[in-house]
């Protein structure tokens, strides 16, 4: 039997995502049914609420086949903040009743609090079953097709994007006709945002993620984990073979300039080699460094005149370098960095002064503040152990996900 580890990348969802997002495994059935769902949110981080709904539906309900664009719409039937709305097409093995139960579980998990009154109210997430193929269902708990879908422009507009010719089994009109005849004239605005069926698909849109951090921050380890879990091409810094590095830690003043020039030449060559070649079998690239670390380290270690010369050479090279869609900086406090450095046991690192690590941290933050237009994501992981604790790893992935969802690709 083929290893289940190989299943993830083939279908675009990683083994990690399957393990994390499963609430309760739905019954395995050969037959699936097409269902159309309406999603909405007008509380908190609306866009990420919708994205999380899609991820959970993909993991617990069935395969998400299509997602509509995200629309901004006014509250319907009550006074409240504007909604983000979308529709999705799903192939599910569940019965209508089992589907409803799963969707209610997802709403509860994402903080939905139901109004005990009779009117509408704001909510973190709202998931409605619009159609369940051509079935007509009338029970005390469930009515399909949704009894009000033809009255709601915020439902029909996104539904028309993914099912324009789907016929209402009772009204015998397709979505386009229902939209044309809808008397709801609410202002519906299409946003630049889109929803993804799983994290692998979302991260693949980033094309290139750079993970940076101080010495011993864990950037290489995190890059390895993301690369393995989401089928990314790894671009790792080659520093262990640099002949100037051990000498630099012994005599910084003497060996700083040849060390930084050596690093710059190597990073430039590696970036040009690794980032210019697209790997058809990988979803995106993730690196454990960014070329800008050269200028950050050089500013800390070089004398003023040396740095001026270094910067001229750097600026010439930088024009040709591929830029990351997200620049992640892993922050750890100095005490934690020193503990990590001691634990990994590289002899030439054991005498690194705490003051040098603090200088580097300041250098990174100065750089980040200098480029606010860059997609910088600072993650304080001083209290996290993403290697030994899956929940801590999920915290990091969740923050990357929430940041990435809001980018327009």
pLDDT digit string, tens, across residues 371-397: 888 899 999 999 999 999 999 999 999
10 has a pLDDT exceeding 50? no
Query: 217 pLDDT exceeds 90?
Result: yes
Residue 174: pLDDT above 80? yes
Q: Is the pLDDT of residue 112 over 90?
A: no
DSSP label of 324: P
pLDDT at 178: 97
Q: Note the helical H segments in 95-174.
A: 96-109, 153-162
Nearest Cα residue to 38 out of 82, 89, 76: 89
Supply the DSSP string of 201-222, one letter for each residue. HHHHTT-EEEEEESTTSSHHHH
d(CA 54, CA 64) in angstroms, rounded, equals 8
Q: Is the pLDDT of residue 214 over 50?
A: yes
Across residues 122-129, what is the average pLDDT?
A: 92
- Statement: residue 11 has pLDDT above 50: no
pLDDT in tens, 335-361: 999 999 999 888 888 889 999 999 999
pLDDT over threshold 50, residue 273: yes
Residue written as token pair 């006074």: 79
| CA proximity to 261, closest of 194, 325, 307, 223 | 307
For residue 19, the model assigns a pLDDT of 55
Write down the pTM of the prediction. 0.81
User: What local confidence, expressed as pLDDT, does residue 5 receive?
Assistant: 37
Confidence band of 307 (pLDDT split at 50, 70, 90) = very high
**Residue 277: predicted pLDDT:** 76
pLDDT tens, 355-376?
A: 999 999 999 999 999 888 889 9
The share of the chain scoring above pLDDT 90, in percent, equals: 68
With cut-offs at 50, 70 and 90, classify the pLDDT of residue 116: low
* Annotated catalytic residue, options 126, 229, 288, 290: 288
The answer to whether residues 231 and 14 touch, using CB atoms and an 8 Å cutoff, is yes
Please determine, for residue 59, whether its predicted confidence score (pLDDT) is greater than 50.
yes
Q: What tens digit of pLDDT does each residue of 278-303 get? A: 788 899 999 999 988 889 889 989 99
Number of Cα atoms under 13 Å in the Cβ half of residue 260 = 25
Query: Given this model, what pLDDT does residue 4 score?
Result: 38
Query: How confident is the model over 195-216, as a mean pLDDT?
Result: 94
Q: Are 373 and 310 in contact (CB under 8 A)?
A: no
The predicted model gives 217-233 an average pLDDT of 96
| Residue 250 confidence class, pLDDT cut points 50, 70, 90 | confident
Gap between the Cα atoms of 32 and 27, Å rounded: 11
List the domains of the chain with CATH numbers. 4-190 (3.30.70.560), 199-405 (3.40.50.300)
> Residue range 150-165: average pLDDT?
97
CA 352 to chain CA centroid, Å, is 35
**Band of pLDDT at residue 13, cut at 50, 70 and 90:** low
* pLDDT of residue 8 exceeding 60: no
pLDDT above 50 for 6 = no
Give yes or no for residue 1 having a pLDDT over 70. Answer: no
pLDDT tens readout for residues 16-35: 555 555 554 544 446 999 99
User: What mean pLDDT value characterizes the chain?
Assistant: 89
Q: Which residue has the higher pLDDT, 70 or 319?
A: 70
133 has catalytic annotation: no
Q: What is the pLDDT of residue 329?
A: 96
CB burial of 166-200 (b: ≥16 within 10 Å; e: otherwise) equals: bebeeeeeebebbbeebebeeebeeeebbbbbbbb
Least confident of 70-79, 131-140, 178-187, 327-336: 70-79
């Amino acid at each position: 039997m083929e290893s289940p580890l190989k299943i993830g990348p083939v279908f675009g969802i990683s083994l990690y995502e399957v393990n994390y997002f499963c609430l309760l495994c739905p019954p395995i059935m050969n037959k699936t049914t097409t269902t159309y769902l309406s999603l909405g949110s007008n509380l908190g981080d609306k866009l990420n609420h919708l994205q999380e709904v899609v991820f959970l539906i993909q993991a617990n309900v069935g395969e998400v086949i299509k997602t509509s664009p995200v629309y901004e719409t006014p509250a319907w039937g009550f006074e409240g903040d504007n909604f983000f709305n979308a529709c999705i097409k799903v192939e599910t093995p569940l019965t209508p009743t089992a589907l409803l139960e799963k969707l209610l579980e997802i709403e509860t998990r994402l903080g939905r609090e139901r109004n005990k009154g009779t009117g509408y109210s704001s909510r973190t997430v709202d998931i409605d079953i619009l159609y369940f193929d051509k079935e007509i269902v009338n029970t005390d708990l469930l009515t399909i097709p949704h009894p009000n879908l033809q009255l709601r422009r915020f439902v029909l507009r996104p539904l028309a994007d993914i099912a324009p010719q789907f016929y209402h089994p009772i009204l015998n009109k397709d979505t386009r006709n229902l939209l044309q005849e809808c008397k709801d004239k609410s202002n519906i605005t299409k946003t630049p945002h889109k929803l993804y069926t799983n994290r692998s698909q979302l991260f693949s849109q980033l094309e290139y993620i750079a993970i940076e951090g101080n010495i011993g921050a864990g950037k290489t380890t995190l890059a390895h984990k993301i690369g393995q879990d989401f089928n990314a091409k790894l671009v790792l810094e080659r520093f262990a073979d640099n002949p100037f590095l051990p000498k630099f830690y012994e005599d910084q003043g003497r060996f700083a300039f040849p060390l930084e020039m050596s690093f710059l030449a190597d990073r430039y060559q590696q970036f040009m080699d690794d980032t210019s070649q697209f790997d058809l079998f990988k979803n995106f690239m993730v690196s454990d460094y960014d070329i800008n670390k050269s200028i950050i380290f050089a500013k800390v270690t070089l004398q003023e005149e040396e740095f001026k010369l270094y910067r001229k050479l750097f600026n010439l090279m930088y024009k040709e370098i591929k830029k990351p869609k997200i620049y992640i900086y892993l922050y750890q406090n100095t005490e934690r960095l020193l503990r990590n450095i001691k634990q990994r046991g590289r002899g030439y690192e054991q005498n690194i002064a705490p003051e040098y690590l603090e200088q580097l941290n300041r250098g990174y933050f100065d750089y980040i503040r200098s480029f606010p237009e860059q997609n910088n994501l600072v993650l304080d992981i001083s209290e996290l152990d993403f290697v030994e604790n899956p929940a801590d790893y999920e915290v990091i992935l969740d923050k990357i996900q929430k940041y990435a969802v809001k980018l327009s690709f």
